[in-house]
Amino acid sequence: MTSILDPVLFPFLLLNPTLAIVLLSFLIALMITTIYKYTTNQTLMKQLKDEITELQQETKTLKDNPSAALEVQKRAMETNMKYMMQSMRATIFTILPMIFIFGWLSSHYAFLPIEPGREFGIVATFESDGSEIGLRVPDGVTIVGDPVKNVTANKARWGLVATKGSHILEFTYKERTHHKKVLITNERSTEDVLTPIGEDGLVSIETEQPKLIVLNLLGWKLGWLGSYIIFSIAFSMILRKAMKVY
């Protein structure tokens, strides 16, 4: 998924993360709005939207007549359902591209990368204490401390230092072997941080990587998804009005 979009979206990785998410939010909103406009009957959509507004206004004037207000609300719900069904056409065309784009954003903007030569942590999580787990590393990866750890407070942690590249770590627990891939790079990219295991009481293996903060609103720190939602809502409202999309 990531490799498919890398040639197209790679230039955004050269930008400041906040600027990149702003630009991507705008381009995605423009794509969705354009598809929505040309895959729906805009004349019908305007009629339905106007009808919904009129019915909502009519409901407000019938506060003293509950039965009549209920009937108007029923008509409004039916009209709103017709509007939503028309909107679903655009969703069919946009859902697959959005899945790919969101996957790419998650792999490049969710966490800070693990840099070459800098120590990072690997944590194995268990259902209970009282056992041991061993770690074996390939060439290019150094364990800081003992490769065999006792499980304490349902956790076992190793400190590692590695060279640039993709490395596969090998964990041995209760005579079973489990693998975890880590990517060491200066670029904005990462492997999956959390690897679920769910065998013999070993729950998961996770790399310790700080989340990438894209937007800081007076102490409210947002990652790529929260920032995208805010920017995309704003851009969608502006574009729909400018392009007269109903």
Same domain for 126 and 51, yes or no, is no
Residue 62 pLDDT grade (very low, low, confident, very high; cuts 50, 70, 90): confident
| Same-domain status, 19 and 67 | yes
Phi-psi region of 234 (alpha: psi -120 to 50; beta: other; left: phi over 0): alpha
Pair 120, 190: CB distance under 8 Å: no
Assigned domain for 9 exists: yes
What per-residue string of b and e applies to 110-127 under the rule 16 or more CB within 10 Å gives b?
bbebbeeeeebebebbbe
Domain that holds residue 39: 2-110+221-242
Same domain, 30 and 53: yes
How many separate domains does the chain show?
Answer: 2
Which pTM does this prediction carry?
0.82
Between 3 and 113, where is the model more confident? 113
Joined tokens for residue 50 = 């106007």
- 138 plus 68 within the same structural domain: no
Q: Would you say residue 227 has pLDDT above 80?
A: yes
Residue 235 DSSP SS3 = helix
Contact 232, 215 (CB under 8 A): no
| Whole-number pLDDT of residue 2 | 58
pLDDT at 146: 96
Query: Helix (H, G, I), strand (E, B), or coil: what is residue 9?
Result: helix
Q: Which two tokens stand for residue 230?
A: 């805010």
pLDDT tens per residue, range 165-197: 999 999 999 999 999 999 999 988 888 899 999
Average pLDDT score, the chain: 93
Sign of the dihedral defined by the CA atoms of residues 25, 30, 33, 35, in that order:
negative
Better-scored residue on pLDDT, 126 or 90: 126
> Per-residue pLDDT tens for 80-100?
899 998 888 888 899 999 999
Is residue 223 within 8 A of residue 109, CB to CB? The reply is yes
Structural domain contains residue 215: no
Q: Are residues 136 and 191 in the same domain?
A: yes
* pLDDT over threshold 70, residue 1: no
Question: Is 187 part of a structural domain of the chain?
Answer: yes
Domain identity same for 129 and 86: no
Predicted confidence at residue 72, as pLDDT, reads 86
Nearest to 163 by CA among 114, 197, 211: 114
pLDDT tens-digit map of 206-223: 999 999 999 998 889 999
Residue 57: both structure tokens together: 């206004």
